[in-house]
Structure 1
């Protein structure tokens, strides 16, 4: 069974002001996941070196010739195609491979990227190139039984100070299900009882864990996503959360099927204890793409593996040709958020995890599936 979004279609628009002769108009569509990081090593005798870790998974590499021939090893005048003055459109389409495609993602040590590149080849001239990225996301349906199951836990901690032992601090927490989508609010049901002699504060945090794999090694990054704070509890007091809400911001869906990049989420409900290691519960989350059906069931294509975001693009090439835009130029700054948590929340979270924290997270926006896209090559000078 195939899904309509398994086909990527588009058009290349070429406008010329004078007759030109070309060898070929080609497209190259690619998708891959890639990780890279470096670590410093000591080799003894005050000698250090850098160890690089890289890995890549290629999902597809589709090539097609829309005009002319595939040969580009000669500059002869034979076999050239004439394009007359005016505007011309060349349609293309290709089928995505019937394998799981990881969701488009930009992480600290790796990425998952998809793009289409058009190239216009002429004799004795450098090719004119234009690159257009598009977004793919692997559908995660949160209506599946495993993602509809409640998540819960209970923990208790007794504080000791020299020879004195205070009463316990207990924490119980529960959420209605494991799967959510960005923009939803998680309802947290919890009970915190403070029988110790210290003032404590119940809190909750959503964090993202990025894991990158290369050469048998793993690099992990934790990122703060959202957090909330309850009321301070003095000795002998109890606080109950009856569906306290914590909203999920626009983040990337979970990535669970890529062999070199994994993106996971957790809800941490914890008790901030001054002068002691915090008491905390980790409840696993899966951030999906298909929302909860109001009746608890839904029908969907089991083979739906991605949808494309390729907008119409118009470009006027300068007289002096430049290199095609880099991926960093296309993914603008507005697609990222930094410093999502205040300093106090950062400190609390770092202490609870007892590890480094990078408050940098990519914003993920859901867009309706487009119908077509265009790569446009345009020039106001004769010849191209």
Structure 2
């Protein structure tokens, strides 16, 4: 048995994240160091670094052919997004490098691709992962490996025309039970935009028209759909991440939602650019009709990473801009206005004294207007306001008042 004198072999990223993997985006520089601590002096052949990123899907389906025969079909596929290799230490001229006992650090740095990356993801039938792997080669020893994962989040800006466009739809159905018509149920729903970020509230504007003789219940859901694709076959997993239930709509009645709010929980962003894995979201507004299938209307959603700008966008809907601007005004205007600042706090005594001095009177007025007009404005820039007094400094005489009355 060969004695292993490696006390520590680790990868440390140059990141403020301590308890969780660091987060990067496409084009960012990933840097860090490989830490190697030896108990005794050791000969080393090489130390290599390998950065990798893959999207992988895999699932198994069992099918029966007859009463006793069964077979299992495996579906798998992968897409490579990152493959970078770097040698941190290499023996020169075939001679081994001797590292003394103690701690050794080997820094590394590389840039992520600009456009080919997708957001990290962990799902039931697939994943998108990125990691850095270090390999230590020594004579008469097995290769020692260490791997550290990091997270990639591709930015999705919802301040784009396509994501700021309102989404709306209408649907109706004839409710039947045991070949008997119960009546028609109609549903119309609208949301201000398509793009949202986790933590936001989606106001739903909807109208439910119940023409049946039974009560119906309107509801709304936010659904996440994970799609995995391999060998021309698709596997989906759907889950409800948020729900909203309204009041029952009586027979022959109509109900309206004037911006009923449903909050988006902390969920991952949409993944739309990967060939084998997609993560999509929808807002499903439906009506539960007792005794028959529900009436359902789906509106597409995109979960972004860059939230809506304070003033919205020119391409967004009027209602969306109105609500955003109102929220901004509530935050910007204080309940009690602050008094204006004191003149002395803005202008120093030296500036006030300098600007209070009368301007020089030019004897020759022919060249007065040749000076820039801004120069005349500057002369009155720091003039203090007149002192307030309840006594009129220029009282009118009785003769002046009598003359004004006779005019």
Query: What TM-score results when the alignment is normalised by the length of structure 1?
Result: 0.71
Q: Is the 8 A contact 2:242 2:262 kept in 1?
A: yes
How far apart are residue 5 of structure 1 and its match? Answer: 4.6
Mapped to 1, the partners of 2:294 and 2:163 lie a distance apart of 28
Deviations 1:236-294 (A, max 9, x none): 33222111111111111111111111111100000011111101110000111111111
Is 1:68 matched with 2:90?
yes
Residue 159 of structure 2 is matched in structure 1 by 143
How far apart are residue 42 of structure 1 and its match? Answer: 3.4
1:310-329 equivalent positions in 2, closer than 5 A: none
Is 1:31 matched with 2:47?
no
Q: Which deviates further from its counterpart, 171-180 or 240-249?
A: 240-249
How far apart are residue 160 of structure 1 and its match? Answer: 3.3
The structure 2 residue matched to 1:152, chosen from 168, 172, 175, is 168
Is 1:212 matched with 2:228?
yes
Q: Is the 8 A contact 1:24 1:70 kept in 2?
A: no
The structure 2 residue matched to 1:188, chosen from 204, 211, 219, is 204
Residue 340 of structure 1 is matched in structure 2 by none
Deviations 1:75-108 (A, max 9, x none): xxx5211222332221111122233211100111
Q: Is the 8 A contact 1:212 1:220 kept in 2?
A: yes
Q: Secondary structure at the match of 1:147?
A: helix
Mapped to 1, the partners of 2:240 and 2:111 lie a distance apart of 37
Residue 274 of structure 2 is matched in structure 1 by 258
Q: Is the 8 A contact 1:100 1:257 kept in 2?
A: no
Residue 261 of structure 2 is matched in structure 1 by 245
1:98-137 equivalent positions in 2, closer than 5 A: 98-137=114-153
Deviations 1:139-192 (A, max 9, x none): 111111000000011112222345753442221111110001111111111111
Residue 331 of structure 2 is matched in structure 1 by none
Q: Give every structure 1 segment of 4 or more consecutive aligned residues whose post-TM-superposition deviation is greater than 6 Å.
A: none
Q: Is the 8 A contact 1:100 1:138 kept in 2?
A: no
Q: Secondary structure at the match of 2:141?
A: coil
Q: Secondary structure at the match of 2:31?
A: strand
Q: Secondary structure at the match of 2:283?
A: strand
The structure 2 residue matched to 1:275, chosen from 291, 294, 308, is 291
Mapped to 1, the partners of 2:237 and 2:144 lie a distance apart of 39
Mapped to 2, the partners of 1:12 and 1:162 lie a distance apart of 71
Mapped to 1, the partners of 2:166 and 2:196 lie a distance apart of 12
Q: Is the 8 A contact 1:68 1:79 kept in 2?
A: no
Mapped to 2, the partners of 1:297 and 1:123 lie a distance apart of 63
Q: Is the 8 A contact 2:176 2:292 kept in 1?
A: no
Describe the shift of the 1:297–1:200 C-alpha distance in structure 2 as closer, same or farther (beyond 3 A).
Answer: closer
Mapped to 2, the partners of 1:252 and 1:239 lie a distance apart of 33
The structure 1 residue matched to 2:185, chosen from 145, 151, 169, is 169
Unaligned runs of 5+ in 2: 1-24, 315-407
Residue 31 of structure 2 is matched in structure 1 by 9
The alignment covers a number of residue pairs equal to 290
Q: Is the 8 A contact 2:27 2:113 kept in 1?
A: no
Greater relative contact order (Cα < 8 A, sep 6+): 1
Residue 41 of structure 2 is matched in structure 1 by 19
Residue 22 of structure 2 is matched in structure 1 by none
Mapped to 1, the partners of 2:26 and 2:227 lie a distance apart of 32
Q: Secondary structure at the match of 2:82?
A: strand
Mapped to 1, the partners of 2:268 and 2:154 lie a distance apart of 11
Mapped to 1, the partners of 2:66 and 2:184 lie a distance apart of 49
Describe the shift of the 1:164–1:52 C-alpha distance in structure 2 as closer, same or farther (beyond 3 A).
Answer: closer
How far apart are residue 21 of structure 1 and its match? Answer: 1.8
How far apart are residue 68 of structure 1 and its match? Answer: 1.9
Residue 197 of structure 1 is matched in structure 2 by 213
Q: Which deviates further from its counterpart, 165-174 or 176-185?
A: 165-174
- Structure 1 or 2: more helix by fraction: 2
Describe the shift of the 1:116–1:162 C-alpha distance in structure 2 as closer, same or farther (beyond 3 A).
Answer: closer
Q: Is the 8 A contact 2:63 2:70 kept in 1?
A: yes
Larger radius of gyration: 2
Query: What TM-score results when the alignment is normalised by the length of structure 2?
Result: 0.67
